[in-house]
Structure 1
């Protein structure tokens, strides 16, 4: 006799993921609702009835920190920043991978407000080359660097590949969001729940921020630009 898979009545996505996490942790939905400052039935309605249709950004961030998972796991696919369309079976057989170029800049200076997140073009990379770089299966987008604070490593106008996979954090060059501002910085753990945002250009001092105030969009894995 086959047994129904737990939570099989909830479609794959953030509602199913949240329910699975709650059950794994032994946390009640009522308690989690109170954690995010909502009425006790809020998350029960979200999961079982799809109301609200999606979790707010602050609610996702709080729940993701509680469970120790990437915030993107609790977001609808179409909400994820710089998300490209999933590869079809036919595209996976192609020797080429198209990486969307996003119409947005990541500031390497004082910060820049995003004007949009629309792909206007694409780069085509060899699937074999990506595998050789350790980027097989990476969720890549290309964006433009703005400003001079990461010089000489990254120059104004360089295009960078950002891997948005929800991997465990490690120090390195990342694109981060603070409020409505996107920045590309070297990000290092500073202990005590804080991060250091570091510039290559010594004219820019380090910035210490609470980890909860920064959303790490992805790790910079490649750059290209004019000589």
Structure 2
């Protein structure tokens, strides 16, 4: 924090940037003009008045102007410890088990449902969290992402939650697609004439794939559901 004449010079500089007279400054702080002269010449000002002055000039100068470091703005919040559990741990009242499909090849026929694809493994999720996102428990599955096409957002080995109730395409959203009997995770865009574009996050190594309605039928391409959640371990 600046003091003495350096503080006075900072006050005077802020006053000029704000474009106000010393009389205006005195009136706004309910002091006499000689007091303001003492502020700007020698930095003689009480702590309470100084804090109010810093706030007063915050529209034209930042904390650094007064010799203060800018406090970082937090972007994370501690929500609690991690509770260990295994497959034998009973579910809490607010939990539900979502089927996890790992290394699964999907049959080519229509009408595939979660039971057809169940690998016997599950991911536990909070019922309230699913409700907040409009996901019916019976319509939710989880799948594992393989390869680097969706990096960096979805690294190899990531798990994503899929809402199979939502198959209508909203451009740029991420979906799980059935493609020639395999599951794929991609951004999807609609194309004129009813076709679709599949896009990877890692576009440097994976080019866009465009398919006409005819090609979609030939390659058995359809939307299994929209991704609503993801989880990954980081190296």
> TM-score by structure 1 length?
0.51
**Superimposed CA distance per residue, residues 21-70 of structure 1 (whole angstroms, 9 cap, x where no aligned partner):** xxxxxxxxxxxxxxxxxxxxxxxxxxxxxxxxxxxxxxxxxxxxxxxxxx
With over 3 angstroms needed to count, the CA separation of the structure-2 counterparts of 1:178 and 1:167, relative to structure 1, is closer
Match of 1:208 among 210, 216, 227: 210
Q: Map 1:58-207 onto structure 2 (within 5 A).
A: 94-104=93-103, 113-114=105-106, 117-136=117-136, 139-171=139-171, 172-202=173-203, 203-207=205-209
Q: Secondary structure at the match of 2:201?
A: coil
Tell me which moved more, 93-102 or 144-153.
Answer: 93-102
| TM-score calculated relative to the size of structure 2 | 0.49
CA deviation after TM superposition for structure 1 residue 168, in Å: 3.1
Provide the C-alpha distance between the structure 2 equivalents of 1:125 and 1:154, rounded to a whole number of angstroms: 19
Query: Shift of the alpha carbon at 1:176?
Result: 0.7
Q: Which residue of 1 aligns with 2:231?
A: 224
Counterpart of 1:88? none
Q: Secondary structure at the match of 2:103?
A: strand
Could you say which structure has the larger radius of gyration?
A: 2
Gaps of 5+ in 2: 1-90, 108-115
Residue 104 of structure 1 aligns to a residue whose secondary structure is coil
In structure 1, list runs of 5 or more residues that go unmatched: 1-90, 106-112
Residues 23-42 of structure 1: pairs in structure 2 closer than 5 A? none
Pairwise CA distance, 1:128: 1.3
Q: Following superposition of structure 1 onto structure 2, how do residues 4-19 of structure 1 map, counting pairs within 5 Å? A: none
User: What's the secondary structure of 1:135's corresponding residue?
Assistant: coil
Q: Is the 8 A contact 1:176 1:218 kept in 2?
A: yes
Gap change, CA 1:138 and 1:114, over 3 Å in 2: closer
